[in-house]
Amino acid sequence: GAGVSQSPSNKVTEKGKDVELRCDPISGHTALYWYRQSLGQGLEFLIYFQGNSAPDKSGLPSDRFSAERTGGSVSTLTIQRTQQEDSAVYLCASSSGRGSNEQFFGPGTRLTVL
């Protein structure tokens, strides 16, 4: 596609439920990133994929958070047993590869945990 797309755009869930957030990067981009943005805050790095492998998972806040990427394209961020503090906008970005720092962002998924 023309840009990074994310789905759903909004997700409301109950505390304790699992959620899956999807990211479709720009076609041909080998690097994919997940960030979290809490209300009125900057972006917090979660995880980075190069191809299907994740060399840097250092930002995942707990073992309830996991992500995978298949076929070097689509990525899914899963949050298990959601907590109210997980409420935030989850942003995905992609870039063309190791040498490129220019990350292009999707519109985000706004997650609300009741």
Q: Which of the residues 55 through 94 are near other proteins (CB under 8 A)?
A: 56, 58-59, 91, 93
Of the candidates 21, 26, 67, 108, which one interacts with other proteins according to CB under 8 A?
108
CB of 42 to other proteins, least distance (A): 4
Those residues whose C-beta lies under 8 Å from the C-beta of residue 19, and which sit 6 or more positions away, are 11, 13, 78, 79, 82, 111
Q: How far is CA 59 from CA 12, 29, 65, 72, 110, in A?
A: 23, 21, 10, 21, 19
Residue closer to other proteins, measured from CB, 14 or 42: 42
Which residue among 42, 53, 63, 70 contacts other proteins (CB under 8 A)?
Answer: 42
Residue 97 Cα to chain centre, angstroms: 17
Q: What is the DSSP letter of 101?
A: -
Contacts with other proteins, residue ranges (CB under 8 A): 4, 31, 33, 35, 41-45, 48, 50, 56, 58-59, 91, 93, 95, 98, 101-108
